């Protein structure tokens, strides 16, 4: 006779933490750890979302990665100011830029809020308001070299807020970042580098002939060597090698204008320390400049103002006025660097060579300067295809007339 098995009672494991519905209709998740109760930093729209959050916390407990969250969160003004002041890996100019951006464009809008009170919706509203305020405050001018709609400033402020919120996550004041707007850290949401206007070789020469004589060599170095103006302003006599056949400049410092004074620091990245070959025609002008405008000591600055000071904050406006006089209000002084590297690409420089010239560790920036060469190549290819298909035909008689005219 078959014996009846005793019924086994299946006991479900106790769920981690607990969920309750609040009077508002939303759900709050809580859990206990080491005798203390920890609520979720936010409430949830559904009970399932609350339990899902508890599952992630339980996983961190099981794996040993759980850490007690901070119970009291500071406001953004307090935490942001402390982060900017104590960040160990930023240059003096970057720290000054952070302070200015934070006090002008972040703190007045969001500074009073505690970190956990800043939501993605508030960040989106801040960006909308900031862009509108910036656009309304920008005076109209004749220069068209920059996009004067406040988008670059708004993007810079968004990048700063993102960095601060990431630091708050690392310090366990936040679980996730409220900065979730795609491409908000790029002006106009650009996914790549902005195409900048360039000067022709003839325009570079005309500009060099137009500026005061002490800045003529500076213009040529900026354009033909592709240096940043801060790098050129930090060059010293000992950085010059004008040996025929080996003409070059050594970039090892960069001049910054911070808090009313000039500061010297290393270039933007390790790759920024480099030796840049000089075209012979630039080296000859530079040799004349050293004899006329540079002190005799090896440590003497190559480019200076009339009073012998650093030119980093003076030469730029002088060059800009000459650009305006040439009708090139669309060009910035920084675009001389873009000009030089575009000309180098046209002359046949490879991507690796462009990276070395510019002092970039990333290939992305160098690739931007190859667009001109690639675009020209595509245009030639299209023209050849047009000839092959009969879309574009140059009559033989027309070619003969051109040949005779050229002769």
pLDDT tens across 60-111, in order?
Answer: 888 888 877 766 778 999 999 999 999 887 777 788 889 999 999 999 999 9
CA distance 33 to 18: 12
List Cβ neighbours of 226 (8 Å cut-off, separation of 6 or more).
276, 337, 340, 341, 344, 357, 358
Cα end-to-end distance, the chain, whole Å: 121
CA 377 to chain centre: 29
pLDDT of residue 250: 92
Decide if pLDDT at 368 tops 90: no
Of 39-43, 145-149, 251-255, 394-398, the range with the highest mean pLDDT is 251-255
CA distance 396 to 389: 17
- 46-56 tens-digit pLDDT: 999 999 989 98
- 121-157 tens-digit pLDDT: 999 999 999 999 988 887 666 666 665 667 889 999 9
Decide if pLDDT at 9 tops 50: no
pLDDT of residue 25: 86
CA distance 179 to 196: 29
Residue 403: which pLDDT band, with cuts at 50, 70 and 90?
very low
CA 379 to chain centre: 31
Residue 157 backbone zone (phi > 0: left; psi -120 to 50: alpha; other: beta): alpha
pLDDT of residue 398: 43
Residue 273's Cβ-side half-sphere holds a number of Cα atoms within 13 Å equal to 5
Lay out the sheet containing 36-39: strands in order across: 18-21, 27-33, 36-39
Chain position carrying tokens 């006025």: 321
- 242-265 tens-digit pLDDT: 999 888 999 988 888 776 788 887
- 288-343 tens-digit pLDDT: 999 999 999 999 999 999 999 999 889 999 999 999 999 999 899 988 988 888 88
Average pLDDT over residues 229-237: 93
- Say which DSSP state 310 is in: B
Decide if pLDDT at 377 tops 60: no
- Report which of residues 267 and 174 the model is more confident about: 174
Residue 13: which pLDDT band, with cuts at 50, 70 and 90?
low
**Quick one: what percent of the chain has pLDDT higher than 70?**
77
Of 40-54, 173-187, 216-230, the range with the highest mean pLDDT is 216-230
Decide if pLDDT at 379 tops 60: no
Q: What are phi and psi of 75, to 5 degrees?
A: -80, 170
- Say which DSSP state 347 is in: T
pLDDT of residue 394: 46
pLDDT of residue 168: 92
The pair of three-digit structure tokens given for residue 286, joined into one six-digit string: 């530079």
pLDDT of residue 82: 93
Residue 365: which pLDDT band, with cuts at 50, 70 and 90?
low
CA distance 312 to 359: 19
List Cβ neighbours of 127 (8 Å cut-off, separation of 6 or more).
154, 158, 181, 184
Judge if pTM exceeds 0.85: no
Q: Tell which residue, 85, 140, 75, has the closest CA to residue 106.
A: 75
pLDDT of residue 195: 64
pLDDT of residue 46: 92
Three-state DSSP class for residue 284: helix
pLDDT of residue 193: 46
Which residues partner with 20 through β-bridges? 28
């Amino acid at each position: 006779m078959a014996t009846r098995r005793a019924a086994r009672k299946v006991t479900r494991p106790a769920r981690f933490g607990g969920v309750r519905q609040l009077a508002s209709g939303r759900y709050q998740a809580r859990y206990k750890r080491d005798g203390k109760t920890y609520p979720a930093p936010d409430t949830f729209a559904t009970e399932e979302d609350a339990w899902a959050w508890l599952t992630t916390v339980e996983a961190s407990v099981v794996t040993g990665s759980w850490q007690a969250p901070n119970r009291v969160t500071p406001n953004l003004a307090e935490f942001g100011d402390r982060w900017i002041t104590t960040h160990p890996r930023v240059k003096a100019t970057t720290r000054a830029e952070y302070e200015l951006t934070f006090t002008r464009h972040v703190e007045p809008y969001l500074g009073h809020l505690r970190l956990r009170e800043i939501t993605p919706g508030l960040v989106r509203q801040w960006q909308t308001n900031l862009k509108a305020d910036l656009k309304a405050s920008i005076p109209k001018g004749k220069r068209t070299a920059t996009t004067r709609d406040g988008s670059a400033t708004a993007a810079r402020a968004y990048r700063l807020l993102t960095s601060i919120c990431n630091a708050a996550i690392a310090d366990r004041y936040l679980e996730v970042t409220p900065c979730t707007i795609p491409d908000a850290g790029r002006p106009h949401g650009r996914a790549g580098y902005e195409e900048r206007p360039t000067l022709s070789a003839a325009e570079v020469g005309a500009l060099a002939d137009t500026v005061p004589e002490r800045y003529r060599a500076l213009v040529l170095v900026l354009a033909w060597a592709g240096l940043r103006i801060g790098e050129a302003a930090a060059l010293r006599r000992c950085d010059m090698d004008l040996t025929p056949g080996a003409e070059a400049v050594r970039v090892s410092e960069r001049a910054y204008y911070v808090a009313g004074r000039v500061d010297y620091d290393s270039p933007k990245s390790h790759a920024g320390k480099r030796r840049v070959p000089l075209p012979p025609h630039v080296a000859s002008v530079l040799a004349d400049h050293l004899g006329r405008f540079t002190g005799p000591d090896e440590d003497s600055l190559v480019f200076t103002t009339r009073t012998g000071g650093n030119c980093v904050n003076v030469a730029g406006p002088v060059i800009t006025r000459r650009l305006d006089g040439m009708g090139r209000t669309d060009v910035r002084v920084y675009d001389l660097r873009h000009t030089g590297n575009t000309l180098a690409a046209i002359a046949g420089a490879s991507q690796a060579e462009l990276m070395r010239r510019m002092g970039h560790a990333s290939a992305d920036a160098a690739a931007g300067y190859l667009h001109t060469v690639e675009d020209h190549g595509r245009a030639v290819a299209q023209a050849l295809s047009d000839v092959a298909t009969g879309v574009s035909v140059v009559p033989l008689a027309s070619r003969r007339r051109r040949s005779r005219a050229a002769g």
